[in-house]
Amino acid sequence: MTQQPANEVNDVSPSSVSHLIGLSGVIDQVSVALDACQMDNRRFDHSMLVGSPGLGKSQLASVLAMEMATGFHEVLGQTISQPSDLNALLLAAQDKDIIHIDECHELPKPMQTAIYLALDKRCLVLGSKNGKSPQTIPLADFTLLLSTTDEYGLLQPLRDRCRLVLRFEFYSVEELAMVLLQRTRFLDWDIHEELLPQIASRSRGTPRLALRLLQSCRRVARSQGETTITAHHLKRACQLEQLHGDLGLGPTEQKYIQILGDGNARLNVISSILGLPARTVSQVVEPFLLRTSLLTK
């Protein structure tokens, strides 16, 4: 029986550091740390993963767990809102396990304090009840990975407990094309390879966006009963996603540029026309335009 190709880009993912593309500085740091851990038979160091969304922080965290052949516990920072949530997470880990807290800057400040105290003391101190003395529960020797888009949203004492700071940068078009080629081969998808740089150039240096556009191209091809992704499918996918030009400008960016075409405007005026909060415009819309020199300040 012929095996059918996978239908989703996330049906496969890297399982080893050697499979990761780009991020040369991060991979060098991680490779050295992994070698040291294996030589000393110890856990991976507590680490902070810093970078914009979609650059592979969560993927690296899961790959580290595979490389260490250990348990993996992953949560979002905003889901830890009270001590019982944090205690359950920390107590579930065994020696050398990896705990990954994504979007950790969303952790309430009391929870951040509790985490770095637990790391220092290697135990949890539960409050007294009914006049009884506090209870101390030892913790396993686990690894804490903190992923964030805003490292300064974390308390400095918690940042200082991270021996490794892994900084994720945007990918080049060539690196994204290699990511796409690797994924299409893993998925057994047929694609005209000259399309890969074109998809990459429309993806803002972000693997998540590149894979999303690849998935859209595949969706268009299958809707037409075809199995090979061609330039026609890419063009149609860009129309459906409302992406314009080689840079893949979305509707909001296009409208922003049109507004500036009428002359300089204040941020609050632009945000009102776009119907977006000023903070969203300055932190989400403008950074990409600044990176590509379509906008100067």
> Has residue 24 got a pLDDT over 50?
yes
**Cβ count within 10 A of residue 276:** 16
- For 232-253, what is each residue's pLDDT tens digit? 999 999 999 999 988 999 999 9
pLDDT band at 36 (very low <50, low <70, confident <90, very high): very high
Is 244 in a helix, a strand, or coil? strand
> Has residue 5 got a pLDDT over 80?
no
Per-residue confidence (pLDDT) for residue 135, from 0 to 100: 81
Model pTM score: 0.88
CA distances from 21 to 13, 49, 182 (A): 12, 17, 9
pLDDT band at 127 (very low <50, low <70, confident <90, very high): low
User: What sign has the CA pseudo-torsion 92, 53, 33, 116?
Assistant: negative
**In the block, residue with structure tokens 């314009």:** 244
Compute the distance between CA of residue 202 and CA of residue 235 in angstroms, rounded to an integer. 12
Is 294:261 a contact under the CB 8 Å cutoff? no
Strands (E), the chain: 47-50, 72-76, 98-102, 123-126, 135-138, 143-148, 164-167, 190-191, 228-229
Is 180:135 a contact under the CB 8 Å cutoff? no
> Has residue 284 got a pLDDT over 50?
yes
**In the block, residue with structure tokens 């960016």:** 253
Compute the distance between CA of residue 267 and CA of residue 290 in angstroms, rounded to an integer. 14
Q: State the first-to-last Cα distance of the chain, in angstroms, to the nearest integer.
A: 60
> Has residue 1 got a pLDDT over 50?
no
Closest to 212 in 3D by CA, of 254, 185, 176, 245 = 176
- For 83-92, what is each residue's pLDDT tens digit? 999 999 999 9
Per-residue confidence (pLDDT) for residue 192, from 0 to 100: 95
Compute the distance between CA of residue 258 and CA of residue 263 in angstroms, rounded to an integer. 9
What average pLDDT score do residues 110-138 get? 83
Alpha helices in 23-124 (DSSP H): 24-40, 57-68, 83-92, 109-121
- For 61-72, what is each residue's pLDDT tens digit? 999 999 999 999
Closest to 40 in 3D by CA, of 15, 12, 68 = 68
Looking at per-residue pLDDT, the higher value among 59 and 261 belongs to 59
Q: What percentage of the chain has pLDDT greater than the value 70? A: 96
Is 249 in a helix, a strand, or coil? strand
* Average pLDDT of every residue of the chain: 91
CA–centroid distance for 211 within its chain: 13
Q: What residues have CB less than 8 Å from 63, skipping those under 6 apart? A: 14, 15, 16, 17, 19, 20
What average pLDDT score do residues 123-142 get? 79
Looking at per-residue pLDDT, the higher value among 131 and 271 belongs to 271
Per-residue confidence (pLDDT) for residue 180, from 0 to 100: 96
Is 5:191 a contact under the CB 8 Å cutoff? no
- For 206-235, what is each residue's pLDDT tens digit? 999 999 999 999 999 999 999 999 999 999
Is 134:126 a contact under the CB 8 Å cutoff? yes
Per-residue confidence (pLDDT) for residue 3, from 0 to 100: 56
∠ Cα 38 40 26 (to 5°): 50
Amino acid making up residue 246: D
- Sort strands 143-148 and 228-229 into parallel, antiparallel or unpaired: unpaired
Per-residue confidence (pLDDT) for residue 170, from 0 to 100: 94
